[in-house]
A and B are shown apart, each in its own frame.
Chain A
Amino acid sequence: MSIATRFVADATVSPWTGFVARRIGRLVVSLWVLVTASFLMIHLIPGDPVRAALGSSAPGALVEARRDALGLNDPLWLQYAHYLQGLFSGNLGTSMTSDLPVAQVIGDRFPATFEMAGLAFLLAVLIAVPVGALMGVLTRGGRRRPTELAFTSTSIVVAAIPEFLLAVGLVYLFAIQLGWFPVAGRSDANSYVLPVVSMALGSAAMLSRIVRVEMLSVLGTDYIRTARAKRLPNWMIYFRHALPNALTATLTIGGLMLSAMVAGTVLVENVFAWPGLGSTIVASILAKDYPVVQGVVLVYGIGVLLVNLLVDIALGMLDPRSTIKES
């Protein structure tokens, strides 16, 4: 296989072109699935979504008028065509409760969610990579059993606490008891601390475990033995030879985690009454405001797909083998 890959690399077109083309192809298919699923969502709901939204006491004429306005009386394929057309022109429909365009609702709410998720991810990585790498080095080859036990059990417990429960605990302790941070809302920098920390802590614990395990497995490889046989100093072995390889492996899982974080905002936003997409989608589901739900699901989905794309590209750049391995 290795001989083969060598020649693929030498072949006429750069492997990157093929890799990027394949990757974009996959993104397009995933997007299509996502868009179709969000379109179908409203049609899969048993019964009449408009009737459900307006309540059983609403007059039949109003329901009918609303159905017409939403185009629900058209044949399915036509609705699908309209939906796609709307998407391409940035029209996501109109909220059934506020009568605002869905695109505007999303535009208003998006920054708050994006900031929270982004900061939380950054914090998680900044904690997890150094801690995980250090733990990997300290506990390599079965050294320092007590340290390993302490780290593993702490990280398992912290990782097992879901963000919204941690949020509740932090609110109680730091907002209600100590009064250091506001209980809820999004205002100054101080108001970011608790939401971001409660989002980041569990992920940091999980990610640091992954970094440690990857670090351990890299430290056990033959090429680390080669580096030791070259009598390189330890810091070079850990930083130059081990860490980049450990992070490459971590990235795959880290990417999944980042997209899980995007979704995790939903719960935490509700604890902190954070004016983001998460609180919007929950309120809309409860109010049966389906166009908004559709739009937010779409935005979350696209966010997840973009994160995955970025991770794959980063992997391709970090690991010279990965672009070719796929084919």
Chain B
Amino acid sequence: MSELRFEQVSVRFGGRHGMTAVDGVDLTVPTGQVVGLVGESGSGKSTLARAAAGLTPLTGGQILFNGQPLRPKRGERRPLQMVFQDPHSSLNPRMSIGESIAEGIPRAGRGGAAGRRSEVQRLLGLVGLDPQRAFSYPGQMSGGQLQRVALARALAGQPEVIIADEITSALDVSVQGTVLNLVRDLQRELNLSMLFISHNLAVVRYVADAIAVMYLGRIVEQGPAEQILSDPQHPYTKDLLAAVPSHRSPSLTPVNADPAVQAVNDAEPTDPHHLPSGCRYHLRCPIGPLVLPGRDICREVDPASDGNRQAAACHFVGELLTSGKAGIL
């Protein structure tokens, strides 16, 4: 059992003029599963990750590990670990790779200097690095290698849950694949639960069993990966999917003939400091009130998700209206 559950988690920054980066999120990362979290910059996905790791205090709700709040004491095993985006920033430049990894080994399990050394070597081997690398410094290694080291350090804590925050986006394209393969292998081998955060839907698709889509602090849709990808319900999910280019059908989504739809497509991102009333997506929604008449409910009522496995926070779930007005008239 190593289930991570978010219950009505909220994180707010700043005082009176602050912003709610994460707003009432319910999300479960089941044992041994990978949940992919996608969303644009500013959607709150990284804040959620940091909150889970205890790096950012919650303003509401709770995060439970196997039903219990996570409050590890000094020297204890840390069942939740995190891997960060920028490997150059996530390792202390003045500590050798080996020292950095050794720091993550719980005190109880260290078994003296020799035990610690052999554990570091084992971990380096696990992430496919030469154990001799323990004596190198971060400045002597490439981004891809450093990201492996960061993984090894996370594994040193003998975690059951790993939070991976954009771990491939700082890497060169030819290197990303090796890191993704490694993450997948390790996750399966060690039966880790994982919250995998990325802005790249194709990457998330490749590793995740389930997908949650985040927009302006809310999870607007979640469900099994295949279902989300093949049959998205929320218009934002559809827009995200439509925006992913593919090798095989490399064409831009055409300019929509309907000027109202086009205007919505070209709209600016909504400011997280000044959220609109009603549905947060309505200013950019191709099936919302700016395109279709009579949809004032989107302006007025916030479509809170009803908590089902594949729930979409939209008043008009299931209506195939991406093509425009024709559907409703």
Direct A–B contact in complex, judged by CB atoms less than 8 Å apart:
yes
Chain A interface residues (CB < 8 Å from chain B): 3-4, 6-8, 11, 327
Is B247 interfacial (CB 8 A cutoff)?
no
Query: Which residues of the partner chain B approach A11 to less than 8 Å between Cβ atoms?
Result: 274
Q: Would you call B272 an interface residue if the criterion is a C-beta within 8 Å of the partner chain's C-beta atoms?
A: yes
A-B contact pairs, 15 of them (CB 8 A): A3-B42, A3-B268, A3-B269, A3-B271, A3-B272, A4-B19, A4-B271, A6-B271, A7-B271, A7-B273, A7-B274, A8-B17, A8-B273, A11-B274, A327-B17
Q: How many residues of chain B get a CB closer than 8 Å to chain A's CBs?
A: 9
**What residues on A are CB-neighbors of B17 within 8 Å?**
8, 327
Q: Which residues between 241 and 289 of chain B lie within 8 Å of chain A, taking CB atoms?
A: 268-269, 271-274
Q: Interface centre among B42, B268, B271, B272, by most A CB within 10 Å? A: B271
Instruction: Give CA–CA (A83, B269) in the complex, Å.
Output: 56
| C-alpha spacing A6/B272, complex, angstroms | 11
CA–CA, A6 and B273, complex, Å: 10
Contacts of A7 in B (CB 8 A): 271, 273-274
**Distance (Å) between the CB of B122 and the closest chain A CB?**
42
Give the shortest distance, in Å, between B27 (CB) and chain A (any CB): 25
From A4, A8, A327, contact of B272 by CB (8 A)? A4
- CA gap between A207 and B223 in the complex, in Å: 61
CA distance A268 to B19 in the complex (A): 52
Majority secondary structure of chain A interface residues (helix, strand, loop or mixed): helix
CB neighbours (8 Å) of B272 from chain A are: 3-4
Chain B residues whose CB sits within 8 angstroms of the CB of A327 once the complex forms: 17
- Nearest 8 A/B pairs, CB to CB: A7-B271, A4-B273, A3-B271, A7-B274, A7-B273, A4-B271, A3-B269, A4-B272
Find chain B residues with CB under 8 A from A3 CB.
42, 268-269, 271-272
Which residues of A are found within 8 Å of B271, using beta-carbon distances? 3-4, 6-7
How near does chain A come to B138, taking the closest CB pair, in angstroms?
26
Q: Which residue of A lies closest to B14 (CB)?
A: A327
Nearest B-chain residue to A6, judged by Cβ: B271
Residue of A nearest to B269 (CB): A3
**Besides A3-B269, A3-B272, 15 new A-B residue pairs in contact (Cβ under 8 A), listed by A number:** A3-B42, A3-B268, A3-B271, A4-B19, A4-B271, A4-B272, A4-B273, A6-B271, A7-B271, A7-B273, A7-B274, A8-B17, A8-B273, A11-B274, A327-B17
Q: How far, in angstroms, from A327 to B268 measured CA to CA in the complex?
A: 23
Q: In chain A, what residue has the closest Cβ to B274?
A: A7
A4 to B20, CA, bound (A): 12
How far is the CB of B220 from the nearest CB of chain A, in Å? 19
Q: How far is the CA of A3 from the CA of B270 in the complex (A)?
A: 8
Query: How many whole Å from B217's CB to the nearest CB in chain A?
Result: 13
Which single residue of chain A is at the shortest CB-CB distance from B17? A327
Bound: A11/B271 CA distance, A: 12
Q: Which residue of B lies closest to A4 (CB)?
A: B273
Distance of A8 Cα from B18 Cα, bound (Å): 11
- The answer for the CA separation of A7 and B283 in the assembled complex, in Å, is 15
CA distance A95 to B180 in the complex (A): 79
- Across-interface contacts of A4 in B (CB, < 8 A): 19, 271-273
List residues 154-203 of chain B with CB under 8 A from any CB of chain A: none
Which residues 19-36 of B have a CB within 8 angstroms of A? 19
- Measured in the bound complex, the distance between the Cα atoms of B14 and A8 in whole Å is 14
Compute how far the CA of A204 lies from the CA of B327 in the bound complex, rounded to whole angstroms.
73
- Min CB distance B153 to A, Å, is 30
* Listed residue (A3, A6, A8, A11) with the most chain B CB atoms within 10 angstroms of its CB: A3
In whole angstroms, what is the CA distance A3 to B271 when docked?
A: 6
Expressed in whole angstroms, the Cα–Cα distance for A7 and B272 within the complex equals 10
Q: In chain A, what residue has the closest Cβ to B270?
A: A3
Which residues of A are found within 8 Å of B268, using beta-carbon distances?
3
How far is the CB of A303 from the nearest CB of chain B, in Å?
A: 33
Give the CA-CA distance A7 to B17 in the complex, in Å.
12
Chain A neighbourhood of B274, CB < 8 A: 7, 11
Nearest-neighbour CB distance to chain A for B204, whole angstroms, equals 24
> Which residue, of A4, A6, A8, A327, has the highest number of chain B Cβ atoms within 10 A?
A4
A242-B268 Cα distance, complex, nearest whole Å: 30
Q: How far is the CA of A270 from the CA of B162 in the complex (A)?
A: 68
Minimum CB–CB distance for A1 against chain B, Å: 9
